[in-house]
């Protein structure tokens, strides 16, 4: 599916950034950076992640994209406490 790899890369990269921001709890966090992240995160999970979920449900992802999507959903599940810690929205797509 055209664009699925880019969507997977973007959401995965944002998950990496979420982990980095959440691990900064002992240091003073840059509130501007967190705000910027929240905006990009919201756009990604409302747009790109929702699109991936749609393509997955429709069976339109290539086998390697399906594997990557399943791994991404597992990472999202594991990151739910971090989302809560930084007060970013949780994904609305099924994570199981």
**Residues 32-76: tens digit of each pLDDT:** 888 999 999 999 999 999 999 999 999 999 999 999 999 999 999
Q: Examine residue 92 and state whether it is found in any structural domain, yes or no.
A: no
Work out the burial of residue 95: count CB atoms within 10 Å of its CB; fewer than 13 is exposed, 13-18 middle, 19 or more buried. Answer: middle
Here the tokens at position 1 are 């599916």
| Span 2-26, average pLDDT | 89
User: Does pLDDT of 25 surpass 60?
Assistant: no
Q: Examine residue 67 and state whether it is found in any structural domain, yes or no.
A: yes
**Residue 66 sits in which domain range?**
4-86
Here the tokens at position 63 are 């086998």
Q: Examine residue 95 and state whether it is found in any structural domain, yes or no.
A: no
Q: Examine residue 41 and state whether it is found in any structural domain, yes or no.
A: yes
Q: Examine residue 68 and state whether it is found in any structural domain, yes or no.
A: yes
Q: Examine residue 96 and state whether it is found in any structural domain, yes or no.
A: no
Q: Examine residue 93 and state whether it is found in any structural domain, yes or no.
A: no
Locus of tokens 């709890």 = 25
Give the sign of the dihedral formed by CA 1, CA 40, CA 9, CA 76: negative
User: Does pLDDT of 96 surpass 70?
Assistant: yes
pLDDT at 26: 47
């Amino acid at each position: 599916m055209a664009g699925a790899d880019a969507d997977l890369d973007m959401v995965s990269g944002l998950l990496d950034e979420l982990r980095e921001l959440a691990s900064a709890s002992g240091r003073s966090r840059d509130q501007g950076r967190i705000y910027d992240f929240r905006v990009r995160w919201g756009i990604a999970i409302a747009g790109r992640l929702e699109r991936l979920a749609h393509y997955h449900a429709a069976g339109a992802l290539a086998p390697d994209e399906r594997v990557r999507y399943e791994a991404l959903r597992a990472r999202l599940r594991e990151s739910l406490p971090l989302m809560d810690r930084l007060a970013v929205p949780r994904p609305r797509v099924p994570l199981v």
